[in-house]
Amino acid sequence: MKHSALQIFRQAWSSHRKWPRTWSSPEPKPAYDVVIVGGGGHGLATAFYLASEHGIRNVAVLEKGWIGGGNTGRNTTIVRSNYLLDGNEPFYEWSLKLWEGLEQSLNYNVMMSQRGVINLFHSDSQRDGFIRRGNAMLMHGADAKLMDRDELEKVLPYLDFDNARFPVLGGLCQPRGGTARHDAVAWGFARAADQLGVDIIQNCEVTGMRIKDGAIEGLDTTRGFIGAGKVGLAVAGNSSRLASMAGLRLPIESHVLQAFVSESIKPLVDTVVTFGAGHFYVSQSDKGGLVFGGDLDGYNSYAQRGNLPTAEHIMESGMAMMPCLGRVRVVRHWGGVMDMTMDGSPIIGLTPVTGLYLNGGWCYGGFKATPGSGWVFAYTLARGEPHQLNAAYRLDRFSTGRIIDEKGMGPQPNLH
């Protein structure tokens, strides 16, 4: 059924009780041409683009829990393409272009809201760095706008502009950046993929890989063996665990990142603001809650919860930037486990095992990549080689020295 205004009107007559299920839940078949492991946004988007762009429809997405229950449902939903390096910016800008047409191509409301993303700066050298990044963005066809203090005072009057340690001198704004509804992204891709014949199989955990003569044959799962011509891993946070089933070690550590939501308040923040120097960023959801977060906890973790020192630090940073937050109560917080790579950039491409492909290493920034990642991963799976847009994200870049270290932090995952 196609979603439309007329359909909403028609369904209202039956009190919205007759909407069909958004996706079917078939029993797994004995084998598929392509099996995607991980039913987050990336896995579902990959399946959708395999079916819609490459005509490969004998595809299954295996999810150990429920779709979107991983980082897709745990992130702070910021969408942007404000990167500096050549390996990154064209990919993220293509992803942002896909976001801009996503609701039409999926026929699903993902609540994409291009409310702008503003990164604050506090010193002359930081401003110079931001100008350079803004110029790189413009040269790659993205949008960027430098805002001075006067302009910022109009949009964000409540900032502590004269903060003694981090006075706000201005910001780099990407007006086309913004937020989207995380769950809707998973559901929209699932529904569209399902309509093209993709099997979405939940409660199906992959527990092992069968590899013969260096090529993948299929997967052992909690719902039995499933044969596969090709396998694509999209299991954010768990990539090392899945890769170890194929005897591979990855340039990845799993780390926890926390997020927080406040009680609903009247409209206050109508953009996304990041205070990188103090480790805090914030936006406001349509329900009115402030959605905010900061940096990693900083130690290896597979626990989907963080520790209090980081929570305290994030609150302190928030208070430093927006003192008016002091009276707002936090109602929920949680953590998500992410693949932190050694250079802070993702890995999308081939592995040493024939037929096994990896999409991982998203660090804390993979939500914005969802459509672009699915798009290039589908291409890579279909053709057996990377697209130009993900060619730099190859796994062997660590052995060839072609790392993509956006922040210049070196091989220390908790600093990226």
Partner 1 sequence: MRIPCPNCGERGLEEFSYRGDATVTRPTSIEPSSESAWLDYVYLRDNPYGPHWEFWHHISGCRAWFRLKRDTVTHKVLAVALAAGVDGEDHRS
Residues forming contacts to partner 1 in the complex (CB under 8 A) are: 238, 240-241, 244, 249-254, 298-303, 307, 309, 342, 398-399, 411-414
**Which residue matches tokens 């699903």?**
108
The DSSP code sequence of 263-311 is EE-SS---SEEEEGGGTEEEEE-TTSEEEEEEEEEEEE---S---HHHH
Q: Which stretch binds ligand FAD (CB under 6 A): 112-120, 130-138, 154-162, 251-259?
A: 251-259
Look at residues 406, 170, 119, 169 and name the one whose alpha carbon lies nearest to residue 282. 119
Find the shortest distance in angstroms from Cβ 20 to partner 1.
Answer: 38
Q: Which of 35, 36, 42, 358 binds ligand FAD (CB under 6 A)?
A: 42
Find the shortest distance in angstroms from Cβ 351 to partner 1.
Answer: 13
Q: Does 336 bind ligand FAD (CB under 6 A)?
A: yes
Q: Which residues ranging from 367 to 396 are in contact with ligand FAD (CB under 6 A)?
A: 367-368
CB 170 within 8 A of CB 152: yes
Q: Which stretch binds ligand FAD (CB under 6 A): 33-41, 141-149, 193-201, 401-409?
A: 33-41
Q: Which residues ranging from 75 to 94 are in contact with ligand FAD (CB under 6 A)?
A: 75-78
Phi, psi for 248 (deg, rounded to 5)? -105, 145
Given partner 1, ligand FAD, none, residue 235, with its beta carbon under 5 to 8 Å by kind, binds: ligand FAD
Beta bridge partners of 32: 228
- CA–CA distance, 77 with 183 (Å, rounded to integer): 10
- CA–CA distance, 197 with 48 (Å, rounded to integer): 9
Find the shortest distance in angstroms from Cβ 373 to ligand FAD.
Answer: 7
Find the shortest distance in angstroms from Cβ 114 to ligand FAD.
Answer: 14
CB 338 within 8 A of CB 71: yes
Alpha helix ranges (H) inside 58-116: 89-106
89-106 vs 370-383: helix crossing angle, rounded to 10:
100
CB 187 within 8 A of CB 114: no
Find the shortest distance in angstroms from Cβ 302 to partner 1.
Answer: 5
Given partner 1, ligand FAD, none, residue 151, with its beta carbon under 5 to 8 Å by kind, binds: none
Longest dimension (CA), the chain: 65
Q: Which stretch binds ligand FAD (CB under 6 A): 62-70, 133-141, 348-356, 379-387?
A: 62-70
CB 204 within 8 A of CB 35: no
User: Which CB sits closer to partner 1, 137 or 235?
Assistant: 235
- CA–CA distance, 92 with 106 (Å, rounded to integer): 20
Phi, psi for 333 (deg, rounded to 5)? -150, 155
Given ligand FAD, partner 1, none, residue 399, with its beta carbon under 5 to 8 Å by kind, binds: partner 1
Find the shortest distance in angstroms from Cβ 358 to ligand FAD.
Answer: 11
CB 58 within 8 A of CB 405: no
Q: Which of 293, 294, 349, 386 binds ligand FAD (CB under 6 A)?
A: 293
What is the x/- site pattern for ligand FAD, positions 204-243, by CB under 6 A? -xx---------------------------xxxxx---x-
CA-based R_g, the chain, Å: 21
Given partner 1, ligand FAD, none, residue 158, with its beta carbon under 5 to 8 Å by kind, binds: none
Site of interaction with ligand FAD (CB under 6 A)? 37-43, 62-65, 69-72, 74-78, 205-206, 234-238, 242, 257-259, 293, 336, 338, 362, 364-368
